[in-house]
Amino acid sequence: MPNSSLRTLLCAFSCLLAIGAAQAQSSSATSPIADAISAAERGQPVDAARFANDPLYGWLEYAALRRDIDTLPSDQAQSFLSRYKGQAVAEAFRSIWLAALARRKDWPAFRTAWSPAIKDTALRCAELDARQATGGADAQWTKDAQDLWRSSGKSLPDGCDAPFAVLAGKGGLPPELRWERIEKAAAEWQPAVMRAAARGLPADQFAQANDYASFFDAVNDRALSWPKTPRSRLVASHGLAKLAKSTPVAAENALPRFASALGFTEEDRGRVLYQIALWTAASYEPESARRLAAVPASAYDERLREWQAREALSRSDWRAALAAIKAMGETQRGESRWTYFAARLSELTGDKAGAQALYRAAARESDFHGFLAADRLDEPYALCPWIANDDAAAKAPVARDPALVRAIALQRIDRVGWAQREWNDAVSRFDDRQRRLAIEVAQDNGWFDRGVFGLETAKYPEEKRLYKLRFPLHHGDTIRREAAKHRLDPAWIAAEIRAESIFNPRARSSANAMGLMQVLPSTGAAVARRNGIPYAGAASLYDSDTNIAIGSAYLRQMEDKYGQTYYAIAAYNAGPTPVARWQSQRPAMDPDFWIETISYKETRDYVARVLAFSVIYDWRLNGDALPVSQRLRGQSGGARKKFACPLAAAPKG
């Protein structure tokens, strides 16, 4: 039962709960606990006793306490932290309580509530304040403050100014430490941080540091007279690199003068030439090949190697593109993407035997380029599903874990951030088998993105083969109905939903795209009107059936407009204007090359991802698949592809 002080905050009389529920504007499906939390956040009385046994009662308390955090008595806050010790809700509360204590400058209470596990920079600076104010500014304090000072070249929170001022007063920010931060800020192209870090330097060094910072605001000839030191070269080269990102030609023209005046090393020149080449190639400008060739080999990284290959592809210079791939490091060159393109380019330059070997290597991967390679070989697609040998009895104790129960309940009422906290708390105590079972439990309860964000495929590559977790299926009847209505492959619709929202009907992007297929309200209204779909405003997009109906109709519209599915997928992600530009730049290019030379990384990867997802959903729906080389062109005839596992054995569950 809630204690009396909390009852004062949460409860006046229970009938007001109904009023609060009526006024709630939660984006989730309503439930008594969801309405109670929303009411508490608005400061309305809630019948707390009604929810005393609810798994989310702690979060209801949290909502009420957070509302009045700046006037909350310390004993009440400490009681909450004590009662929920070890739970995610306590750590969520701890952060906001510490921030409130810092605003109050109640440093003894701050130190009582502090946890070393906190990583938030603003709170770490407040903790330095707390130690200093309570007599704890010892040698360890100085070291901790110096570590925070040098931790980044980017701007730190305003709350860090006070402890840094104390640090400076104690002699803890000698010139060498200030210069360390200035150089890091230069590497981050942060002139304001450079100026701030320079305060406290001797007058002549202060003036030099500010002149360095001014070079990032506008490249100027004063730098020609800077001392010929490694620091001057570092700053000047980063300043020119910043200029290169926006105006490559200006940076290229300026580089020889500054390089000669300051004695640039190859590393300094490479830093500038890298940015000149990168931003020229990313726009496929005429000078791209020349500028890429000017970059020293020592300055190349994986990103620039990729652009070197794409730039050559954009000109249909097969030999140059193949040479760029061969210049990649072994790991990058071994990715299915570049193995496939090495095969294509080897074939185009006359090395058919070499191409076949490369196709076979790429075709072992269950992704877009692996599927393309299998089509070239006329072989089955590689797919090695891993079905874990776990039964309901093994899943039951995981499903009963209190943190997991709370996580799923919070997800159900659309408290996504809170749900994530509880999920992280739960899986931190699970072994790998239990973690995978937790993902199954989450998906059983409609929380489908755990099959993407809950698996650790980088650490455990075999988890990529948990296809039924990674590629959930939901709303199947609606998908099939709308696919039939609009003459679309249902696997494509499912793939779009998986790529856009991972089957979260409440998903909402920063651009205000909404629902399963991430439809913008303006697009939703236009498509609904054109197709006679009932539409009652933007909120309609949170209805799964409506969203799939509108999204599918829009896919049909894109398919009709562009005539090629890969263009339609690109337009669905990037919009018509960029796609029109890419079409005009490379009008007759083969689809695989066209996709790879899309300028936007997000769209380039999106098209490949949706096409690969379509193959996998085809497998899930039908057991075989339309060949991806036909799918991307919108073709549906011909023989379908089988699947086979090239691995000798699958791991056991």
Q: Where in the sequence numbering do the catalytic residues fall? A: 500
Burial of 329 (0-12, 13-18, 19+ CB in 10 A): exposed
- Strand positions, DSSP E, 454-531: none
- The CA distances from residue 313 to 337, 356, 608, in Å, are 14, 20, 17
For residue 381, list its beta bridge partners: 643
**For residue 314, what are its two tokens?**
């954009």
119 torsion bin: left (phi>0), alpha (psi -120 to 50), beta (else): alpha
CA 387 from chain center: how many Å?
28
Residue 382 CA: distances (Å) to CA of 366, 370, 465, 606: 6, 8, 11, 21
Task: Write out the two tokens for 338.
Answer: 């570049």
Q: Three-class SS of residue 641?
A: strand
The burial of 22, by beta-carbon neighbours within 10 Å (0-12 exposed, 13-18 middle, 19 or more buried), is given as exposed
495 phi, psi to nearest 5 deg:
-65, -40
| Nearest alpha carbon to residue 72 among 113, 13, 34 | 113
Distance between first and last Cα of the chain: 42
Residue position matching structure tokens 């030439």: 273
Using the Cα atoms of residue 508, residue 509, residue 510 and residue 514 in order, give the sign of their dihedral.
Answer: negative
Place of tokens 């769209």: 603
Contact indicator for 322, 345 with CB cutoff of 8 Å:
yes
Cβ pair 573, 509 in contact under 8 A? no
Query: Computed from CA positions of residues 347, 353, 356, 362, in that sequence, does the dihedral angle turn out positive or negative?
Result: negative
| Pairwise CA distance, residues 384 & 466, whole Å | 9
CB 332 within 8 A of CB 303: no
Listed in sequence order, the DSSP H helices in 327-475 are 330-333, 336-348, 352-362, 368-377, 392-399, 402-412, 416-427, 432-444, 450-453, 467-470
Q: CA-to-CA distance for 432 and 454, rounded, in angstroms? A: 11
CB-based contact 567:583 (threshold 8 Å): yes
Are the beta carbons of 100 and 70 closer than 8 angstroms?
A: yes
Q: How many C-beta atoms surround the C-beta of residue 348 within 10 A?
A: 15
Q: Which of 230, 225, 193, 224 is nearest to 209 (CA)?
A: 193
Report the distance separating Cα 422 and Cα 369, nearest Å. Answer: 37
Angle between helices 402-412 and 57-67 (to 10 degrees): 60
User: Three-state SS for 464?
Assistant: helix
Element (H, E) at 577: helix 576-585
